[in-house]
Amino acid sequence: MDSSALSCGQVTTYQFSIKDVFDGLTDKEKLYAHHLSQAAWAGSRIIMRQTSPEGTGIFDFIMELHKACQGEWTKLSQQFEVSVEEVNSFLDYAGTFPSKLNNFCGERDRKIVPRVSADSLRIMASISPATTEALEKVIEPMLSTTPATLGLSNPAYYPGAAERTKDEIAAVARVMERHGLKPEKTRIRKSVDGDHVVYSILQASLIKESDQEKRFGGSGPFFDILQQGGGDQPLGDATVRFVRGTLEGYRRAMKHWLEDYSPRVESIFGFIEPYRDPYGVRCEWRGVVGISDSQQTAKLTELVENSAKLMRTLPWAVAEVNDGKGPFEKDVFKTPSFSIVHALAFLCSNVWEASSLPNYNDIRETNGFKNIVYANRMSANADPNRPFHWVHPTEAQRFKRVNHIIRFITTSIHELLGHRTGKLLAESSPGVYNFDPACPPVNTLTGRPVESWYRPGQTWTSVFEKLAGSVEECRAMLISYYLDVEKDMLSMFGYDDHSGIRAEDFIYNLYLHVGVVGLCALQAFDVKKQAWGSPHANAEYAIFTHLLRDADGLMWIECDRATGTLHVRVDRSRISHGKASIGRMLHKIHVWRCTADVAPCKALYEPLSTVDGMSEVWREIVVSKPDAPWKFVQANTVLYDGKVNLRTYEASNEGIIQSFADRCV
């Protein structure tokens, strides 16, 4: 692969462990899980196509080559003048691509380019006419190192040959807002007709020409995929959301989904998160099927039961207001569903550790939400062979011992309370408020009544635009870090002054963790564009920068540019300064988010996101030792004689490719 891309061969391929929990299902549950999984995998091409125009073609070439060599990749070096190293290099690429379902890797969104010459690829492809034809369709964009990351030039999210800017996209967004059109399931195509510029709003749906599409001069860009993959699957009432592609249909389906409390077989379908959209509002397709683990879920019971109590300890809480939660929390906090499941099928460009849905504040307030942790994804974090370059060698072993536990606990709180706290003060329609405008709440930052809120038609993303995704992830992370350093909270997970890993050691390593992920985040910063390729990475770096500047010497960086060494250091004697610093940042962005006060949020957040001076040196070192991408091989279910059988695969590139060949997507 190109030197600017990731070296996929540096990482182990992980197998999603699923057999034990799958065997525990009844025959009826297995059949239900099978059909849901088939529906999930049928959406693979949606993600490929919405990421890059060449995505589906690259996948077709990999599958054709696998078919031609019958899965025996050594044939390519035995029969042709191609070295074993080149075949293995392409195999590494061919395993990574379907694992990510695109050629831009993970949430960092860096392009993956195979380290194989065009001549060698053509020699391998000569094994059959079909592979030769498939390769020629994609060889140029597949080997091109540009665009290096996803951006506004990405013709999948923003199709059309004409150049476009963020200002143009913002202008179209304002028009959509005035017409009550939400952006999640849309794409914007720009074209030039004579002296006129035309913007077409494309909406994903099963019907090519709905009234809405005619109105805006476009057609659903994923029509044929949705028709092929969703139309004949037994998704029950939920299939209605795909027919016309209306967001209201999807919202109704989410309310119905919330009523299915802690099911044995859980599923998530739809355009869910806007992380990959360069503008930060258009969502990527996701299809997930998981099997609940009741024993593991029981371990989170105490955390769920104490969620309201924990909210009363957050910086904006006011003892005499709203049952101690303060004015910037919902009047009624519905006890959420919190489940630990094992993923049977996880269809997404990034296999996340957890989910917290739905992403609609009004539905969360009235219908609640679900938090889901994926146990067989979490287990990969405990891999002892995965390197931690930015921890001093004297601390590396202890850090490895506790880091995967830190990730589990912080992720659990991140999803339960991080994303699910906060009340967005709003005038939902003219004269209709979710607060008393005659006696507005007191801003806990200023001590004066609030002066701003969301106006009719406005949403969190429409007001904060490209800042929204990163600030929200930052807020959720800060909440988890703020609560994680309390010993009472840690005791709910079994860590105290007498446990094998003591609470004080957990807290110390938590701050090391914040520093490590902050440095790792620099991989996602594009120097040429001076932009972040990931809202999560931006958030991680902003928190890290804030602690360096604001925590009174708690954390510092040791750096030797000549030797390429870079280590996070934490002063145990200043641990108490960490929570106070985290609380200051958290309090501000939470209140600004709740009151639609974007100006001060930008003033704080954008400088913390800047990479300059010494941080440019850190970035040089970090990108010289990039994190290798995660690869996961997932099982298939096969229906035979009315019974569902589980088919697993070896944890290797070959296993990943074979699993997709068997899915026939």
d(CA 3, CA 7): 8
DSSP 545-603: HHHHHHSTTSEEEEEETTTTEEEEEE-GGGHHHHHHHHHHHHHHHHHHHHTT-HHHHHH
d(CA 157, CA 547): 35
275: which DSSP letter? T
Q: Over 80: is that where the pLDDT of 3 sits? A: no
DSSP 184-250: TTEEEEEEEETTEEEEEEEE--S-TT-HHHHHHT---TTHHHHHHHHTTS--GGGGHHHHS--HHHH
- Residue 366, Cβ neighbours under 10 Å: how many? 13
Q: Which of 656, 647, 616 is nearest to 530 (CA)?
A: 616
pLDDT-derived band at 10, boundaries 50, 70, 90: low
Q: Which of 315, 325, 330, 328 is nearest to 586 (CA)?
A: 315
Q: Over 90: is that where the pLDDT of 153 sits? A: no
Residues 6+ apart with CB under 8 A from 307: 333, 335, 336, 416, 417
Q: Which long-range contacts (CB under 8 A, 24 or more apart) does 301-307 make?
A: 302/492, 303/338, 303/412, 303/413, 303/416, 303/492, 303/493, 304/335, 304/336, 304/338, 304/416, 305/335, 306/492, 307/333, 307/335, 307/336, 307/416, 307/417
Buried b (16+ CB within 10 A) or exposed e, 440-463: bbebbbeeeebebbbeeebbbbbb
Q: Output the CA torsion sign for 608, 575, 511, 614.
A: positive
d(CA 208, CA 290): 32
Q: Find how far residue 217's CA is from the centre of its chain.
A: 31
Provide the β-strand partners of residue 559: 566
d(CA 209, CA 539): 40
d(CA 516, CA 403): 10
pLDDT-derived band at 522, boundaries 50, 70, 90: very high
Least confident of 266-270, 333-337, 426-430: 333-337
Residue 630 has a pLDDT of 85
274: which DSSP letter? -
DSSP 88-103: HHHHHHHHHHHHHTSS
Contact yes or no for 241/253 (Cβ under 8 A)? yes
d(CA 223, CA 168): 26
Q: Which of 224, 206, 228 is nearest to 41 (CA)?
A: 228
Q: What tens digit of pLDDT does each residue of 325-353 get?
A: 999 998 877 777 889 999 999 999 989 99
Higher pLDDT, 64 or 6: 64
d(CA 218, CA 202): 5
d(CA 115, CA 23): 41
Exposure of 160 by Cβ count < 10 A (0-12 exposed, 13-18 middle, 19+ buried)?
Answer: middle
Phi then psi dihedrals of residue 560, to 5 deg? -125, 100
Return the domain boundaries, the chain. 52-148, 390-624
Residue 108 has a pLDDT of 63
d(CA 123, CA 144): 19
Buried b (16+ CB within 10 A) or exposed e, 630-663: bbbbbbbbeeeeeebebebbebbbbbbbbbbeeb
Contact yes or no for 133/146 (Cβ under 8 A)? no
> Amino acid identity, residue 277?
D
d(CA 157, CA 153): 9
pLDDT-derived band at 146, boundaries 50, 70, 90: confident
Residue 245 has a pLDDT of 62
Q: Over 50: is that where the pLDDT of 125 sits? A: yes
d(CA 216, CA 632): 40
Q: Over 70: is that where the pLDDT of 537 sits? A: yes
Q: Over 50: is that where the pLDDT of 318 sits? A: yes
> What proportion of the chain, given as a percentage, has pLDDT over 90?
63
Q: What tens digit of pLDDT does each residue of 612-628 get?
A: 999 999 999 999 988 77
The length of the chain in residues reads: 665
Q: Which long-range contacts (CB under 8 A, 24 or more apart) does 244-253 make?
A: 244/205, 244/206, 244/207, 244/210, 244/212, 245/185, 245/203, 245/204, 245/205, 245/206, 245/207, 245/210, 245/220, 246/205, 246/212, 247/182, 247/184, 247/185, 250/185, 251/358, 251/360, 251/363
Token reading at 521: 């985040």
Q: Output the CA torsion sign for 459, 465, 466, 467.
A: negative
Contact yes or no for 311/421 (Cβ under 8 A)? yes
> Is-above-0.85 flag for pTM?
no
Name the 3-class secondary structure at 644: strand
Token reading at 613: 């001076």
d(CA 161, CA 142): 19
Question: Whole-number mean pLDDT of the chain?
Answer: 88
Residue 241 has a pLDDT of 53
Q: Over 90: is that where the pLDDT of 130 sits? A: yes
